[in-house]
Structure 1
Amino acid sequence: MTTAAAWDLTALVNAADPAAPRPERHLWLIRLTEWLRHGRDEPGADGDATPRPVLRLKHLLNMLERNPAPRERVVALLGRLWRESDVAALFADFGFTARRDLGGEIAERLRLRLLPATPDTDDLAALFGLLFPQAGDARWLAAIDATTLGRLAALFSAARAEGAADASAADWRTPLLRAMTWLVSSIRAASFTPTLRQRMSAELLVDQPFEQLVRRAEALADALLAGDVQRTAQEANLLRALLQRGREAADSVHAHLEAHGISVNILFELDQLRERTLRLEAVLDLLLSTAPAPLLQQLVVDLVTLSQQRRSLRALLGRQYSLLARKVAERHAETGEHYITRTAAEYRDMLRAALGGGAVIAGTTFAKFALMALGLAPFWGGFAAGLNYALSFVIVHLLHWTVATKQPAMTAPAMADKLAAVKGDGHDEAAIESFVDEVTHLVRSQIAGIAGNLAAVTPLVLLAQWLAWQAAGRPLVGAKDAAYVLHAITLLGPTALYAAFTGVLLFASSLVAGWVENWFVYHRLHSALAWHPAIVARLGAPRAARWAGWWRANISGLAANVSLGLMLGVVPVVLAFLGLPIEVRHVTLSTGQLAAAASTLGWDTLQQPAFWWCAAGLAVTGVLNLGVSFGLALAVALRSRGIAGLDRRRIVGAIFRRLRQAPRSFVLPPR
């Protein structure tokens, strides 16, 4: 058989066979919609482009109205579709997954994208995706005018009456009433699951809105079928009020999640519950309307749009993880405030904390060289290096010192809080200036952090090398390792790429920290540590409370530091095994290594171009470590708050204006 594009309308209509097996009948319908889509849009009488499928649909209706025999075959074929297909499933089930978790929906979308569907089905929801698979289908369906819509409704009305056993079978409301029953049952069942029921506001559940849904839906169906207009309106209002109260109760779950930790599966279940209530509202509008054709058209358009969205994993994950990202951002916003200096006193505190962090990193530098001298296998060498980094970062954290490169991923969410007031309406200059103030505070804090780290690590490494020379007659770092450092961190090599990759790892550690803290809060481990009988019996109530408070205060920092250290050591080894030879470049660690190399090779090294290329590499490493990690963290923070379409040129322009007018504010604190 030739393709649908090559068929003319006569051949297509003549191929309609109501006595054919089900897959052939459904295949004919699929070819019909392909024929409607074939060709380009044409200009209409008003000069606008009329969708070509609408023009072809009019041509099809004209032909069927002029030719009774083909019309009878098409009507009979559509009649069998009406009688033998599960029409209610299209309105009740399409767009929802049978499983109530995010993993089930991901698997379903992968199946829709990767596996072909069969037309041999009695589920109209499954057939729907084959009939309208293209993104433009919603557009031309919405463009069908009222006259054409009426002619199309008359054709389907004749199809419903074709071979109907009784009036109920031909009633267009029958599948909608069945869909209403199914939707009510699904909404009620979802609301009774422990994950949602236990998190809903008790005040909003006092009048039992979900328990009443079934009774009110049955009463509405009875009144509608009995033709009692007044009672139908009354029951419909009651059902809508219950749905509104149910949505309010479901929305109250978000407040619980904000306080007690986020679960993406709960978020997905909430989204499904809310979407089902909205679908039920649309079905009610259709059932109660005196002119249902336009409402049915809009519902079909919405279903076609949903069909396209259901093939998008990106849309699903972006929607479901946005609230989780927001909670992570909010938790880090609280932490990030400690890394932003606004006064001279805070600036001095940051310098002191950075000096302490640099002192620890100086010891980390020599520990790394010692581990390299052991000649461990690649994986174990990387794992040992990761433990070295993790231990150092944890010591810095516990002593309340700082490593500058860890700041950006923590401070970006705090910056996003300032952007929340930027509306893009031209009346938000104060909000933009507040954001620019925060930018100056952050840049100044980063400069203080880097300066303090480098001011400590360089002289301490040189001092340790000098003491080794004096005590043992040789440096702690051998000449071979020193020469390797000059070769490795030079700007002439892939240092910039490695530094950017390290920025990604810095950002990833902030995600790990947020996830672990959310997991800690969601599972109420703070309360468990404080009140578990065995823990209280062993430690005593006061110590258990202090221990629980310590973990609550430090869980995010520990997760960030341990994950970052292990990633810096292990990830390059794993990537090398996969054939991706990439390394990490951390500005403070690299500075300590360069100081150690120079002191081993002698002061003549300062006169060599290789040394200054390494110094330039350190400058680029610092910029990329900070810039990449901060940029990624800020992007997630902005997305988590739904901030999009901002006038970025206004914001960037305001930053450069401040840089021209007050460059000192980016380097030194206010006097």
Structure 2
Amino acid sequence: MRIRLNQNSLLPFIQQQVEERQAFTLLLGLTSWLRAGGKKKAAGRMAELVQLCRENPELCGQTASLLCQWLCSLRLYPLFISVGIFARQGFVRELNERIYEHINPAYKDSNNLRDVFSRLFSKDSDSVWMQTIPDSDWLTLFALLRRHTPEQERQTVHNHLRHEGFHAIEMLSIWVAAEALEPDLVRLDPNLLNRDSPFVALQREVASWISAHFHQTPFDDSHLHVMLAQCRSQVDTLRKKGGAAGAGSSLRVAHLLERLQQTLDRITLLLNVFAPAQIPPSCVLKLAGVLAYSAAEQHSVRRLWKRSVRMLSRSITQNTSDHGEHYIARSRKEYWGILYSAAGGGVLIALMSLFKIYLGKQIENYFLYSLISGLNYGLGFMLIFMLGFTVATKQPAMTASRFAAAVEETDKGPVVQQKLAQLLVDVLRSQIAAVAGNVLVAISVAMIVALVYDATHAFPLLNKTEVGAQLDAVNPLKATLWYAAIAGVWLFCSGIISGYFDNRCNYLNLRMRLRHHPILKMLLPQTLRGKLADYWHNNYGTLMGNLCFGMLLGMTGFIGHALDLPFDIRHVAFSSANVGYAAVSGSIGILVFLQSVFFVLLIGMVNLVVSFSITLWVALRSRETKIDGWWQIIRYAWLQVKQNPRSLFLPPQENTETTPAAEGDAEK
């Protein structure tokens, strides 16, 4: 039903609906009229409606009487306990229902207040124009309607509202208590099974409070608010255990915790409305606003996805943040540890690049070549990690999450910006050390291998055409930097994949599964089985992230080739090794060699900047925080580097004793 009103037809419309006793149609028309005003004119139209009620007191009284009688004929508690609160069946079921609702909307019963709100506030944009109307205008309208409502009808509505509100509070408290038996939450905190868990205690307190109200006996509700605070604290604890504390999370757990939080918020809101002897108009307005906003969003797939994924993404980025701390060198010992680790990685990268060159000469099928190249990358990255070495470009995805965690943990202000600037300098220094170790050693090993090959064979490792192709591959005047950006995106994805599998590993408690696996019990002794389980549990995410990253690098070129699109990758470490092979095989000269090395560093810069930027953006969004004063942070970082240029390349000597060493953790 579409109702179009203007300033001249508003009064006749209200009069007609009052005469015909059509309360719902009246509300639908008024809502449509306000919505049509948009965020620019909605407030003005609301003022016109208030003025109309002032100028027509008799009509205002008739309207108030109609709305009171209509409201008392409806059950209100289904609206209170459902709109704005996730259903219990889980994320996937609710997602499916919301999608189906868009395809085949359910019938809306005008005698059901929940459906009434769904029809009145059916647009996602309704929250925009509602926020432009001042609370004072709504309260003035309520006051006018109340003033012209007979005392008996006011009391009837008051009693009906309180009865429905008490019922809703009782039902919501039962829901909260039932969550104490939810296996996924018990896994996070076994103390929920205790009889005196906050969720169960809240339900008992609510039952006593409602009984006291119905029997009109005195009751101190301060303890009820204490129990609500304890329940909120319990939800926060579950969130931390599901994310940072290593127990793992899932969309289902995120959905349950979000539902718990929504339920506790709704109980608090309903208590504020119905606990006083006289219902406060301001609290009624707040409740109506929450229900209206929720009704406008209840079928939004995007909002459901955003809210449910937030905790899961936070848990994933938290795992990368925990690893990221090990990639930041604050002491000389940590710095040299990263440099040596990157040097070891450079040796293997040069050999992996050599094997890829060999594959290119042996395999003509491009798909098979890409697949084996991906395995070469992936298994090579896994080997680098297992040997304790480092791939420089793997660091940004980890350190960006650590940077986001530091932003969340600190307050605002110049002092905090200086601390973040120091962290930024530490991150840059660590990146420079890792890139230097990878690039210098990869080039050196590649040149040595090419020299040995040239000395033992009658022809160089690469022919003239292959040398030209390798030099063109690092030329920034072509699509090289675009390909480097694609590799940066895959670097970001590998960090997220690592965090996901770490989170999944914790969620499944993989360590205990492997320790007690029946087949492993038959094959391995207990001590060895325990070591295997511990290693796999602690490194599962990183190993899977490395494997997936390698496959992404290997298969990207095939996708671009198959679709005839500029879709390929350039990775700083492998590009440096390829330049080393080309330099010896083609005798390119010192100037061309230095130019190619410079181009390789440009590739590395794009790799790192893209990966770091995307990961930082995602990590900040998942933590619902942001960085204020980016330019100030950069300015403070520049001042620190300007004051002590060596700090960008070498940690201060005095940090050696005060900062715990983590040489062995450089790649963990």
TM range (shorter): 0.7 to 0.9
Counterpart among 172, 188, 212 of residue 183 in structure 1: 172
Partner of 2:71: 82
2:149 and 2:255 map into 1 onto residues whose CA distance is 36
1:126 and 1:576 map into 2 onto residues whose CA distance is 53
- Please tell me whether the aligned partners of residues 179 and 199 of structure 2 are also in contact (alpha carbons under 8 angstroms): no
- Please tell me whether the aligned partners of residues 53 and 140 of structure 1 are also in contact (alpha carbons under 8 angstroms): no
* Residue identity in the other structure for 1:99: R
Say whether residues 1:502 and 2:487 are aligned partners. Answer: yes
- Please tell me whether the aligned partners of residues 507 and 633 of structure 1 are also in contact (alpha carbons under 8 angstroms): yes
- Please tell me whether the aligned partners of residues 422 and 432 of structure 1 are also in contact (alpha carbons under 8 angstroms): no
For normalisation by structure 1, the TM-score amounts to: 0.85
Between stretches 537-546 and 572-581, larger displacement belongs to: 572-581
Cα distance change on mapping 1:5 and 1:569 into 2, 3 Å: farther
- Please tell me whether the aligned partners of residues 461 and 592 of structure 1 are also in contact (alpha carbons under 8 angstroms): yes
- Please tell me whether the aligned partners of residues 36 and 56 of structure 1 are also in contact (alpha carbons under 8 angstroms): no
- Please tell me whether the aligned partners of residues 465 and 596 of structure 1 are also in contact (alpha carbons under 8 angstroms): yes
* Residue identity in the other structure for 1:647: G
Cα offset, 1:545, TM superposition: 1.3
> CA offsets per residue over residues 436-478 of structure 1, 9 Å max, x none?
3433333233222222222222232233333333333122334
Cα offset, 1:248, TM superposition: 3.8
Cα offset, 1:140, TM superposition: 2.0
Q: Please give the residue correspondences for 1:8-87 in structure 2 after superposition, counting only pairs within 5 Å.
A: 8-16=9-17, 26-39=24-37, 51-62=43-54, 64-67=56-59, 72=62, 74=63, 78=67, 81-82=70-71, 85-87=74-76
Cα offset, 1:570, TM superposition: 2.0
Counterpart among 450, 468, 477 of residue 465 in structure 1: 450
* Residue identity in the other structure for 1:620: L
Residues paired across the two proteins, number = 645
For normalisation by structure 2, the TM-score amounts to: 0.85
Q: Please give the residue correspondences for 1:220-369 in structure 2 after superposition, counting only pairs within 5 Å.
A: 220-226=209-215, 228=216, 230-231=217-218, 233-234=219-220, 236-237=221-222, 239-257=224-242, 258-289=245-276, 290-308=278-296, 310=298, 316-369=304-357
Cα offset, 1:299, TM superposition: 1.0
Cα offset, 1:94, TM superposition: 0.7
Partner of 1:519: 504
SS of the residue corresponding to residue 137 of structure 2 reads coil
* Residue identity in the other structure for 1:297: L
Partner of 2:660: none
Cα distance change on mapping 1:418 and 1:564 into 2, 3 Å: same
- Please tell me whether the aligned partners of residues 26 and 119 of structure 1 are also in contact (alpha carbons under 8 angstroms): no
Counterpart among 123, 134, 144 of residue 112 in structure 2: 123
- Please tell me whether the aligned partners of residues 15 and 59 of structure 2 are also in contact (alpha carbons under 8 angstroms): no
Partner of 1:406: 394
- Structure number with the bigger relative contact order (C-alpha 8 A, sep ≥ 6) is 2
2:32 and 2:495 map into 1 onto residues whose CA distance is 49
Say whether residues 1:196 and 2:194 are aligned partners. Answer: no
2:12 and 2:580 map into 1 onto residues whose CA distance is 84
Partner of 1:540: 525
Partner of 1:622: 604
2:374 and 2:319 map into 1 onto residues whose CA distance is 26
1:613 and 1:111 map into 2 onto residues whose CA distance is 58
Cα offset, 1:390, TM superposition: 0.9
Partner of 2:657: none
1:252 and 1:341 map into 2 onto residues whose CA distance is 31
1:250 and 1:278 map into 2 onto residues whose CA distance is 12
Partner of 1:668: 650
1:40 and 1:571 map into 2 onto residues whose CA distance is 47
Partner of 1:388: 376
Say whether residues 1:568 and 2:569 are aligned partners. Answer: no
1:323 and 1:348 map into 2 onto residues whose CA distance is 36
SS of the residue corresponding to residue 178 of structure 1 reads helix
Partner of 2:575: 590
Partner of 2:658: none
2:152 and 2:373 map into 1 onto residues whose CA distance is 74
* Residue identity in the other structure for 1:566: M
- Please tell me whether the aligned partners of residues 499 and 585 of structure 1 are also in contact (alpha carbons under 8 angstroms): yes
Partner of 2:91: 102
Cα offset, 1:669, TM superposition: 4.2
2:203 and 2:431 map into 1 onto residues whose CA distance is 60
Cα distance change on mapping 1:115 and 1:30 into 2, 3 Å: farther
Cα distance change on mapping 1:510 and 1:198 into 2, 3 Å: closer
Q: Give RMSD over aligned pairs.
A: 3.6
- Please tell me whether the aligned partners of residues 199 and 256 of structure 1 are also in contact (alpha carbons under 8 angstroms): yes
1:643 and 1:268 map into 2 onto residues whose CA distance is 21
- Please tell me whether the aligned partners of residues 36 and 42 of structure 2 are also in contact (alpha carbons under 8 angstroms): no
Between stretches 658-667 and 310-319, larger displacement belongs to: 310-319
Say whether residues 1:151 and 2:144 are aligned partners. Answer: yes
Say whether residues 1:140 and 2:133 are aligned partners. Answer: yes
> CA offsets per residue over residues 254-299 of structure 1, 9 Å max, x none?
3542242222321221221122122122222322321432221121
1:335 and 1:172 map into 2 onto residues whose CA distance is 53
Cα offset, 1:607, TM superposition: 6.5
Cα offset, 1:185, TM superposition: 3.3
Cα offset, 1:562, TM superposition: 0.8
- Please tell me whether the aligned partners of residues 41 and 52 of structure 1 are also in contact (alpha carbons under 8 angstroms): no
- Please tell me whether the aligned partners of residues 248 and 503 of structure 2 are also in contact (alpha carbons under 8 angstroms): yes
> CA offsets per residue over residues 313-361 of structure 1, 9 Å max, x none?
6655555444444444443344334333334444333333222211111
Between stretches 638-647 and 553-562, larger displacement belongs to: 638-647
Cα distance change on mapping 1:374 and 1:91 into 2, 3 Å: same
Partner of 2:656: none
SS of the residue corresponding to residue 460 of structure 1 reads helix
Cα offset, 1:524, TM superposition: 1.0
2:632 and 2:172 map into 1 onto residues whose CA distance is 48
1:2 and 1:82 map into 2 onto residues whose CA distance is 22
2:535 and 2:31 map into 1 onto residues whose CA distance is 64
Counterpart among 639, 644, 649 of residue 657 in structure 1: 639
1:39 and 1:108 map into 2 onto residues whose CA distance is 31
- Please tell me whether the aligned partners of residues 490 and 615 of structure 1 are also in contact (alpha carbons under 8 angstroms): no
Partner of 1:45: none
Cα offset, 1:141, TM superposition: 6.3
Cα distance change on mapping 1:497 and 1:113 into 2, 3 Å: farther
2:553 and 2:150 map into 1 onto residues whose CA distance is 68
Unaligned runs of 5+ in 1: 43-48
- Please tell me whether the aligned partners of residues 309 and 315 of structure 1 are also in contact (alpha carbons under 8 angstroms): yes
Partner of 1:556: 541
1:434 and 1:19 map into 2 onto residues whose CA distance is 68
* Residue identity in the other structure for 2:28: I
> CA offsets per residue over residues 555-596 of structure 1, 9 Å max, x none?
232122111101111244346555643110001111222332
